[in-house]
């Protein structure tokens, strides 16, 4: 959880509650696809976020 990008993703999702696409996260946080996928996978495995 201490990774800065993961914290940014969690903050983004908290402040913009609702369903979000990876593209929205990419634009808002300026993350590459591979970097974004990596961090989302870790958050999902930890049970912090859900993949609909």
SS (H, E, C) the chain: CCCHHHHHHHHHHHHCCCCCCHHHHHHHHCCCHHHHHHHHHHHHHCCCCCCC
Question: What local confidence, expressed as pLDDT, does residue 33 receive?
Answer: 82
Range of weakest confidence among 7-11, 16-20, 44-48: 16-20
Read off the pTM.
0.72
Q: What six digits make up the tokens of 36?
A: 């974004």
CA angle 5, 7, 10 (to 5 degrees): 110
Distance CA 26, CA 32 (A): 7
12-28 per-position pLDDT tens digit: 888 877 767 667 777 77
């Amino acid at each position: 959880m201490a990774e800065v990008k993961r914290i940014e993703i969690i903050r983004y999702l908290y402040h913009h509650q609702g369903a979000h696409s990876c593209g929205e996260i990419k634009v808002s946080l300026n993350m590459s696809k591979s970097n974004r996928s990596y961090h989302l996978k870790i958050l999902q495995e930890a049970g912090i976020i859900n993949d609909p």
